[in-house]
Structure 1
Amino acid sequence: MAVPGSRALSFLHGRWVRHPRWSLALKGAVAAALAWFVALLAPAPFSEYPYYAPLGAVVAVTSSAVRSVRESVQAVGALLLGAVIARGVDAAVGSSVLSVAIVVAVALLCAGSRLFGEMGTWVVTSALFVLVLGGAHPLEFTGVFAGMIVVGAAIGVAINLLLPPLPLTPSEIALDRLRDVLVDQLELLAQRLEHDGPLLAEEWQRRRHDLTPTTDRTRDAMSGTREALRVNRKARRYGERTTAQARRAQELGSAADVVDDVVRLLTEWERADQERVALGPLLRPELVTALRAYAEALRSDRGQGPADEAVARCRESVDALTGAVRAVRRSSGQDLFVAGAIVVILRRACSALTAAREPE
């Protein structure tokens, strides 16, 4: 019998894992507080500007353990460059509206450099800070500003290395969202083919483009997870889960390609404005059945249905579509190249589902 206290701890742990922002907030708060404390202990004039150290800590701790080192170096480089730009323009032009305009223009140009990556915006931030706030003691302020940022970033990196994030939940949520979008696309496509006949090209071209942002976000989430695993001491503990997630990402990535290919072929060759369509009323019902079976197979991942049965039904429906294409080809004498291409795509989709769900 489970102890009530252990159940409560298990519940809290589950909530903690499902909401990685909570751990990020806690780590950020600890890193910022430590950076502030260290800055106050530093000798003058550093201790007079302690608030820049937490800024560096937050920049570092909000990245993965691998990225935090790289991004901290990039951020520090961007901050130093911004300070140099501000001091150079201030010495040449003086403090004025013109100097602000020149500083921002030059900083924005430099911010686009690949050397700084996503940290390029700190060039502009640093330049404006140093130009506006460091007027009385420009050299002192510039050195203190850069030094406190470096100290804070070092603390943030250290905390990230001690407690590296493992963003399994965000990538799981991204995969769920991608699966739901793909299933919705397939079911709506089947419904339109069943009730309305040939497609309206403009609508489905737009739907193809709407799928791209979801696919991109999923790939970014999975990339972040893979990056975090490289230095995460907890990776072995979650080895089975990370392996399953990688296989699921591969499955859904293949499914996204399948849906895109099928929609592209149908919008090009099964359009309402074409005299001769790719499928016609004889093959369209079989394709509708195959698309719905494929959608059901995708929905059955992660225990949302009997996966083996769903994949088997998908194979059967694709086999039925294959037989129907052959029969229509024999009776009509038409080549049916597009219908054959759709069959090949769906067969490949079934093979990908089977491979992704087979035990290693």
Structure 2
Amino acid sequence: MHSARIRLLDLWASHPRFALALRAACAAAIAWSLVRFIPGAQDYPYYAPFGAIIATTSTLAGSVRESMQAVGAIVVGGTIAWLVDLVTGDTAPLTVGIVVALSVCAAGWRPLGVMGGWAPTAAVFTLIIGHGEAFFIGAYGGLTLYGAAVGILINVMAPPLPLAPARSAVGHTRHVLASQLRELGDLMVAYELPTLEQWHRDHSELRRARAQMRDAVLRAQESLTGNARARRHRQALRKLTEEADALDRVALLVADVSDLVLRSHGAPGDPTGQTTLADSVREPIARAMHRVADALDAYADGADTDPDLKAADEELTELLHFQARETHEQLVVNSVVLSLRRALDTFA
């Protein structure tokens, strides 16, 4: 029984979508149940659960911000439809087009943030369902705000803690980074090297993974606001943030390594010359890349990374003692060693 409970708790923690669904369902049901007691809400009661859903899809601080932005977008879009209807007095296709064009422009207004997209929806609803009446704007925005208040209250009682998605995003970024470094090492010895442009074009996954990681960590940090449960995990979140920052730095260093080995560099003192790495140096560089990638893969909370770090350090030390044919080739080798060494030091 105890082990089953632990597995259930682990499942619940690693899949926050379940908690999100439960909060949204409770908030929508409560808002729908109570909206009947609001005078004048009988014609448009469905906007209350709509607002509740908006408010429960984010962190506590985010739910307040996004709820206000959504209501603001509804008021802006509705007002546009109301004003255009006052001028035209009909719902002809041209009127609908004007309303949509103006509301889409208004959706980019900075204060509306990510919820600005509701402005065109509210504008069309006000024009067609509400017949351009000002009362509809108040009902739409007011009932959405009421439902959002219910959703915010649910979030206060059971605040979300998106720590698991952040941890997953950080782990995915680390895996992608190690895989690309290992693949670059394989290309050094097994295939003709691609151009730097081809490499970036075929390996855009790291950019997406880093963007998702930053967004996930930011949401986890935001969850600390007004969330007593999140404060108990402050230490874990701090370590996760540090790892995300470290991975961002390592990603830049790996990009520097790819530039060094894939781009032809001008030889110092000889503008017409090009520095390329000889076959004899490619293999030790590839081994060093593999060792650093192994160290990245091994890095995790509680994992013993000392053997991987030591192996990578020995490989880099050996590479540093490599004697190249020419001085400018030695400069490239030393630059590769420096970038890989700095990447390794990030997790040492």
Mapping for residues 65-80 of structure 1, pairs under 5 Å: 65-80=60-75
- Matched residue SS, 1:298: helix
Letter in 2 for 1:109: C
Determine the structure 1 residue equivalent to 2:160: 165
Task: Give yes or no for contact 2:74–2:137 (8 Å, CA) kept in 1.
Answer: no
Counterpart pick for 1:7 among 3, 15, 19: 3
Partner of 1:229: helix, strand, or coil? coil
Q: Give the alignment partner of residue 132 of structure 1, picking from 121, 128, 132.
A: 128
Name the residue aligned to 2:334: 340
Unaligned runs of 5+ in 1: 355-360
Assess, with a 3 A threshold, how the Cα gap between structure 1 residues 198 and 128 changes in structure 2: closer, same or farther: closer
The code of the aligned residue for 1:30 comes to: C
Deviations 1:265-288 (A, max 9, x none): 2221389xx984442122211111
After superposition, give the CA deviation of every residue in 1:141-171 in whole Å (9 maximum; x if it has no partner).
2221121011011111122222211111111
Gaps of 5+ in 2: 267-271
Map 1:199-218 to 2 at 5 A.
Answer: 199-218=194-213
Q: How does 1:326-337 map to 2 (within 5 A)?
A: 327-328=323-324, 332-334=326-328, 336-337=330-331
Percent identity over the alignment?
A: 34
- Residues 282 and 115 of structure 1: CA distance in aligned 2, closer, same or farther (over 3 Å): same
Aligned-partner Cα distance in 2 for 1:322–1:279: 15
TM-score where L is the length of structure 1: 0.89
Match of 1:301 among 299, 302, 313: 299
Q: Report what 1:259 is aligned to.
A: 254
Coordinate RMSD, CA, aligned? 2.1
The answer to whether residue 110 in structure 2 is matched with residue 85 in structure 1 is no
Give the Cα separation in 2 of the matches to 1:332 and 1:262.
Answer: 20
Instruction: Identify the match of residue 120 of structure 1 among 116, 124, 127.
Output: 116
| Bigger mean CA deviation after superposition, 122-131 or 207-216 | 207-216
Shift of 1:333: 4.4
Q: 1:82 to 1:119 in 2, by over 3 A?
A: same
For residue 281 of structure 1, the aligned residue among 259, 279, 282 is: 279
Q: Note if contact 2:224-2:231 (Cα within 8 Å) is conserved in structure 1.
A: no
Q: How does 1:230-245 map to 2 (within 5 A)?
A: 230-245=225-240
CA separation of 1:333 and 1:277: change in aligned 2, threshold 3 A: closer
**Structure 2 counterpart of 1:19:** 15
Quote the offset at 1:250 in angstroms: 2.6
Q: Relative to 1, partners in 2 of residues 1:71 and 1:297: Cα closer, same or farther, differing over 3 Å? A: same
Q: Which residue of 2 aligns with 1:358?
A: none
Give the equivalent residue in structure 2 for 1:49.
44
Scaled by the length of structure 2, the TM-score of the pair is 0.92
Query: For residues 92 and 179 of structure 2, what CA distance do their matches in structure 1 show?
Result: 57
- CA positional deviation for 1:120: 0.5
Q: Which amino acid aligns with 1:321?
A: L
Change in 2 beyond 3 A, CA 1:305/1:289: farther
- Structure 2 match to 1:322: 320
